[in-house]
Chains A and B, each alone.
Chain A
Amino acid sequence: MRRLRKARRVIVVAAAIALPACASGGGGGKVGQVSYDLGGGWGPWGGYRAAPVYVPVDIGPIGPSEPAPEFEATPIPEIPDDGRR
């Protein structure tokens, strides 16, 4: 049973690394950089199930009592709002 579990884990890890690479047409290295910890979780916050996250910068919504952001001029997106490029 233990051997079976170990084999499954190896397959999952291999798939996690290999699949993004082949399915994303060469851009898949990124997913391989995510820390896969099968015991602790996957994903951007996988390492933070209970411990405080270290946040050395400001976070949180822009609220009504803050000055409105001074945005740059509105750029034109490469995908028009109404559809096709």
Chain B
Amino acid sequence: MKKKRPLLISSILGVAMTALLLASAGTRNLQAQTVPPLPSSGTRHIGKFVWFDLVSSDVERAAAFYSQVLGWQIERVWGIDDYVVVRANGRRIGGITPAENPAEVGWIGSLSVGDVDEAAAWVKEHGGRVLQDPADLPNRGRMAVLADPQGAVFAALRSRNGDSSDRNSLPGDFAWVELWTTDLEGAHDFYRRLVGYQYAAVRGGYHVFGRQDIPRAGVVEIKWKGVEPNWLPYVVVRHLANVLRGVEGAGGSILQGPRDDFGDGRVALIVDPTGGVVGLWQERSR
């Protein structure tokens, strides 16, 4: 008999409709299984995205794609039959979880916060939404799934043992995350008050969130139709052209790029065969 997924999985589904449906049903129990702990430096990096989960319509297919294209190692979680953890360079960096509705797909980043319950309450008071109430996840910490006032979904996490260290990113690592929003000033104010983000304008229309002068995220203003507000993660690759050559063969698509005129290096956006979108980045020096 198959075991039910823990609430984490429902939580990191995060996508509004699913989370709300599950929350209203109230049938999931967080305590059921244990997921592996996050890599920890023993310190906290508030304002840093420390983990990424892909909500996918087909976990196995998505895992095979990222394994083939980005070289990620897939780790099965004992006792949970449909959630896998992703490793890059030996370190756990994220997971892949099934979508309750196969049409609901996306990456959800976990933002380190000082207090998840306070963050959830604050978000609700300030125009955002609580898609999944705060809950304890054994080994991982306390977590809630939230949406900012523009609708970009993210998880708030206070990890149990601290956050991953700020190491130099290696190919396969998540190295950046970007908020795509319809309200630049509103987003600035919201995240400044939530996690103390500083703000800086760089290279033309691009903006950066930072904390204690460490850049933590980019900000893109959506001025066109077709993309809804979201947090988009980026993965470092050694050779972008080579990676892109494998994307379509593995069942994915290239949405944008490769572009040399974006950022510091080469950038592309791809979609996996189950619909998850992720950015790829080859540093200029590589």
Given A63-B284, A83-B114, CB of A53 within 8 Å of CB of B124? no
- Write out the residue numbers on chain A whose beta carbons fall within 8 Å of the beta carbon of B151: 30-31, 33-34, 44
Are A72's CB and B198's CB within 8 A? yes
Output the nearest chain B residue to A80 by Cβ-Cβ distance: B114
A21-46 vs B, Cβ < 8 Å mask (1 yes, 0 no):
00111011011011101101111111
In Å, the complex CA distance between A80 and B115 comes to 8
Count of residues in B whose CB is under 8 Å from the partner chain: 85
- Complex Cα distance, B208 from A9, in Å, reads 40
- Bitwise, B171-210 to A at CB < 8 A (1) or not (0) is 0000110101000000000001111111110111110101
Whether the pair B228, A52 counts as a contact (CB closer than 8 A) is no
Tell me if A64 and B285 are in contact (CB < 8 A): yes
Q: Let me know if A84 is at the binding interface, CB within 8 A.
A: yes
Within 8 A of A (CB), among B1-33: 15-17, 20-21, 23-24
Interface residues of B in 227-253 (CB under 8 A from A): 227-230, 234, 253
Cα separation A75 to B101 with both chains bound (whole Å): 40
Chain A interface residues toward B at CB < 8 A = 12, 15-16, 19-20, 23-25, 27-28, 30-31, 33-35, 37-38, 40-85
20 A-B residue pairs with Cβ-Cβ distance under 8 Å, sorted by A, are A19-B24, A23-B20, A43-B230, A46-B275, A47-B226, A58-B206, A58-B220, A59-B263, A61-B234, A61-B263, A62-B208, A62-B264, A67-B202, A72-B199, A75-B198, A77-B114, A77-B196, A79-B113, A79-B119, A84-B118
Q: Which residues of B contact A (CB under 8 A)?
A: 15-17, 20-21, 23-24, 44, 46, 101, 103-106, 113-115, 118-119, 122, 124, 127-130, 147, 149-152, 175-176, 178, 180, 192-200, 202-206, 208, 210-213, 215, 218, 220-221, 223-224, 226-230, 234, 253-256, 259, 261-265, 267, 269, 271, 275, 277, 279, 281, 283-285
